[in-house]
Chain A
Amino acid sequence: NAGVMQNPRHLVRRRGQEARLRCSPMKGHSHVYWYRQLPEEGLKFMVYLQKENIIDESGMPKERFSAEFPKEGPSILRIQQVVRGDSAAYFCASSPGDRAGNTIYFGEGSWLTVV
């Protein structure tokens, strides 16, 4: 899983600021997923992207959150006007998209703290 690169690893933002989290998938992987983990809880799906396309965003909050995976560069999860409840670990995962038994690899996570 070391191949999925996330940055920053830790981010502190004041309420009302914007947070941008970046994810570079493993080499050869064209599918990116974002998950959120609140303290002492499991991971919750947020969004699934392929290059330049959002495939499934059913887990994204309706406001303030957006995600993209441009043709060039990393996937970005953007949180506008952060609130304390956004404090969580945000994990990115990637896969090659071939459903035949492939492992989905996770990055090291980005820990967001809103103060």
Chain B
Amino acid sequence: ELKVEQNPLFLSMQEEKNYTIYCNYSTTSDRLYWYRQDPGKSLESLFVLLSNGAVKQEGRLMASLDTKARLSTLHITAAVHDLSATYFCAVVLFGNEKLTFGTGTRLTIIP
């Protein structure tokens, strides 16, 4: 059974600081997604990572994938308040289109 774990579960950080969210998964995967969710809202797609060594960046967020270590990271650079949200990683296995989500990381940016 595929297990997807994120850490930390909660993260409070000051503005302008850098931090990384980690996503580990237990089985070789086809691709990995990062989503953002604001309270009471839907999920916003951030990144899709397809292959080992993939790196994608959008603004202050950068995601990477190491398929050998079964690890993805979401790095936040110089955080700003509007990045406060819950971030989920989700994994898709080969031959299976369903997403298995991590536990989520609730990020709070403190001025």
- Interface set of A (CB-CB < 8 Å, partner B): 1, 31, 33, 35, 41-45, 48, 55-56, 59, 91, 93, 95, 97, 99, 101-109
Contact = CB atoms under 8 A, between A and B. Distances in A.
Contact of B97 (A35, A44, A48, A101): A48
B98 A45 contact: yes
Nearest to A97: B97
Nearest to A42: B101
Nearest to B49: A101
Interface string B91-111: 000001111111110000000
Specify which of B35, B88, B98 lies most central, judged by the most chain A CB atoms within 10 Å of its CB. B98
A91 B43 contact: yes
B45 interface: yes
Contact-size category for B = 20 to 34
Nearest to B90: A43
A50 B30 CA distance: 20
Contacts of B50: 101
A107 B97 contact: no
B99 A56 contact: no
B43 A106 contact: yes
Given A1-B45, A93-B99, A95-B97, 19 more contacts: A1-B44, A31-B97, A33-B97, A35-B99, A41-B104, A42-B103, A43-B90, A44-B101, A55-B97, A56-B98, A99-B97, A101-B31, A103-B45, A103-B48, A104-B45, A104-B99, A106-B35, A106-B45, A109-B41
Nearest to B31: A101
A33 B45 contact: no
B104 A33 contact: no
Interface string B13-52: 0000000000000000011010100000111110010100
A45 B42 contact: no
A104 to B, nearest CB: 7
